[in-house]
Amino acid sequence: MVVTNVITNMKTRNTHMKYFLMALMGTILMLSPARAQDAQIDIARYQQALQNISTMKADFTQTAYDGTQTTGTFFLNRPGRLRFEYDQLDDFIVADGTFIYYYDSEMKQQSSTRISNSLADFLLRDRIRLDGDVTVTETSRSNGLTNLTLTMTEDPGAGALTLSFVDANGKPVLKKWTVMDSQGLKTDVVLKNIKTGLKLPKNLFYYIDPQRYRPTFN
């Protein structure tokens, strides 16, 4: 698989982002047995909060397992489209409605997989459901956050994703997510300056060779 070959040959500066990418694409394996559920957490409420997001733009800070941080801008246009632009790197991740791509600026090549084969699929689908083919394996509250841990129902070893919400004016808002690899190494992504309901340029969500053209993000 192209993604695996890229990661095998990667250099240090991109290691942490590629752990995140692999987890997002569902290529890092993790066993996630069912854990304790907080009976007071209404999962349907958080499902609806995700469903209500049509577009989003936010600044993000990504923290790798060793504490290394990178920052950038996250764009979401449901269904099917997202983009991560990194401040310190020319790398980016983009989903165009069918595929999710990663561009490695150091190697000047892209890797891709179908959105339907990735952990990003549940967030990008037209109708979000936190049951059926996705299973909530754990719920908890900590540090002002409500946390829901998800796996794919038929393939729980394909990765795990924890969504964390804050309450804003009585409504849950997605604030953070965490991906974890088979060795228990975590990558956190925290959002701030969150804006929703924006009109975003269509070309943000196309994969275009950045050596030819880069879209405008303002």
Residues 49, 70: Cα–Cα separation, whole Å: 27
Res 41 pLDDT > 50: yes
Q: What average pLDDT does range 148-158 have in this prediction?
A: 78
Mean pLDDT over all residues of the chain? 79
> What are the residues whose beta carbons fall under 8 Å from the beta carbon of 54, sequence distance 6 or more?
77, 78, 196, 197
Residues 19, 71: Cα–Cα separation, whole Å: 15
User: Quick one: pLDDT band at residue 173, thresholds 50, 70, 90?
Assistant: very high
Residue with more model confidence, 159 or 149: 149
Tokens at 58, concatenated: 């936010």
DSSP 85-146: EESS-S-EEEEESSEEEEEETTTTEEEEEEGGGSTTHHHHSSS--SSTTEEEEEEEEETTEE
CATH architecture assigned to 2-194? Clam (2.50)
User: Quick one: pLDDT band at residue 123, thresholds 50, 70, 90?
Assistant: confident
Q: How far is CA 88 from CA 29, 65, 71, 84, 92, in A?
A: 28, 18, 7, 12, 11
User: Quick one: pLDDT band at residue 73, thresholds 50, 70, 90?
Assistant: very high
Q: What average pLDDT does range 45-64 have in this prediction?
A: 93
- Pick the closest to residue 23 from 168, 166, 188, 196 (CA basis): 188
Domain range list for the chain: 2-194
Instruction: Answer whether 199's CB lies under 8 Å from 55's CB.
Output: yes
Model pTM? Answer: 0.79
Res 10 pLDDT > 50: no
Tokens at 174, concatenated: 């997605």
Q: What average pLDDT does range 40-69 have in this prediction?
A: 90
- Pick the closest to residue 131 from 114, 106, 148 (CA basis): 148
